[in-house]
Amino acid sequence: MTQEQQIRQLTAKVNKLTAMVERLLDERDQENNLMTVTEFAKAVGCSKGTVLNRIKAGIYGAERHGKLWYLPAPSRQ
């Protein structure tokens, strides 16, 4: 196999992987539109600690998946 053929094969694989990652990211955004506490805090302009305290106080509705809390994106609330 020549170098040109190897490069074509690698390019095709990279293109397939790129398309797969983009599709997965799009599906994630469409399915749940959830943000991590850090992302949410940056979006609303407060600290991560404030968001966590508000979750614990019941002010924000959040879901816990493993060790991480997820909140709906602010535009969806």
- For the chain, 77 residues long, the average pLDDT of each consecutive 10-residue run is 92 90 70 83 93 94 90 69
Q: List b or e across 22-59, with b for residues whose CB sees 16 or more CB atoms inside 10 angstroms.
A: eeeeeeeeeeeebbebeebbeeeeeeeeebeebbeeee
Q: Specify the 3-state DSSP secondary structure of 32.
A: coil
The pLDDT value given to residue 41: 93
What pLDDT shows up at residue 77? 40
Contact (CB, 8 A) for 71 and 28: no
Position 75 scores a pLDDT of 62
**pTM of the model as a whole:** 0.56
At residue 51, what is the residue type?
Answer: V
What local confidence, expressed as pLDDT, does residue 1 receive?
83
Q: Token digits for 71?
A: 């909140």
pLDDT value for 45: 92
